[in-house]
């Protein structure tokens, strides 16, 4: 039995809790927050896996326990500072760590497509990113939009425009990112390649947030098979998934 500590009890945490109830070989031992952190260290069962879908403010708590226990860490927390992200990567020397801001397999494939297509079109096409999320999402642009920007422009050769307003003049060497918020959308991400008399759009639409929980559990089973190290979704999708039975 894989004993799990869950940090973060928002929409994603609750979906993970429901899905894990149907796993024959995994169970949540504790839902962790800053008020009960001490109880983590008193558990009789060893924690093999921490699922963290919380907030950057919780990272020091998560990091302490991973260093103490050596448990695997699957993180979907967004909004880390550069220092926090570097610290997260360093935990790979102590345990198995995987971080992604989006656990959709379709999104992972979309990012690989972007990395392949952009070098072919970049000289002749303008590029814009659009993302749409529900009206409760707090950050903008989304973490996935930032991954798309990194896939398009890993060397940061372009100016980034977060929307446009006023007399902005003619387009320069730039990439626009446009964040739309409203309704209950689980998430839509598009990149537009805009050329003379033609347009190519690569788009991913999440019909339900359930796909993120399912992807996270697949990633968790995969991570538990690996040696210590820091992993990303690209590495994971190159190998077979181990799903929840």
Q: For tokens 């089973």, what's the residue?
A: 221
Residue 82 CB burial class (10 angstroms; 0-12, 13-18, ≥19)? exposed
Number of Cβ within a 10 Å radius of residue 58: 18
The tokens describing 4, both together, are 């799990």
Q: Rounded CA gap, 142 and 101, in Å?
A: 9
The tokens describing 230, both together, are 């820091």
Reported as type and span, the H/E element at residue 72 is: strand 72-75
* From 3, 11, 19, 137, the catalytic residue: 137
199 strand-pairing partners: 194
178 is catalytic: no
137 is catalytic: yes
* From 99, 133, 178, 189, the catalytic residue: 133
Q: Rounded CA gap, 115 and 107, in Å?
A: 13
Active site residues: 133, 137
């Amino acid at each position: 039995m894989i004993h799990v500590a869950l940090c973060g009890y928002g929409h994603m945490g609750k979906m993970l809790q429901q899905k894990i109830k149907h796993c024959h070989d995994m169970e949540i031992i504790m839902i962790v927050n800053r008020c009960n952190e001490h109880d983590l260290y008193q558990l009789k069962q060893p924690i093999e896996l921490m699922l963290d879908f919380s907030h950057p403010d919780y990272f020091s708590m998560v990091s302490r326990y991973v260093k103490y226990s050596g448990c695997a860490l699957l993180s979907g927390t967004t909004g880390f500072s550069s220092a926090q992200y570097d610290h997260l990567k360093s935990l790979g020397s102590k345990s198995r760590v995987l971080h992604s801001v989006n656990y959709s397999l379709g999104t992972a494939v979309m990012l690989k497509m972007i990395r392949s297509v952009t070098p072919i079109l970049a000289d002749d096409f303008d590029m814009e990113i659009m993302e749409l999320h529900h009206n409760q999402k707090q950050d903008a642009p989304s973490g996935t939009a930032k991954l798309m920007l990194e896939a398009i422009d890993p060397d940061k050769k372009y100016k980034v425009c977060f929307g446009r307003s006023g007399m902005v003049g003619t387009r320069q060497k730039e990439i626009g990112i446009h964040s739309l918020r409203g309704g209950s959308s689980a998430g839509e991400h598009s990149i537009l390649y805009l050329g003379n008399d033609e347009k190519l759009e690569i788009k991913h639409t999440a019909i339900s947030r359930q796909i993120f929980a399912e992807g996270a559990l697949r990633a968790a089973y995969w991570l538990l098979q690996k040696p210590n190290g820091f992993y990303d979704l690209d590495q994971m999708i190159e190998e077979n998934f181990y799903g929840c039975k």
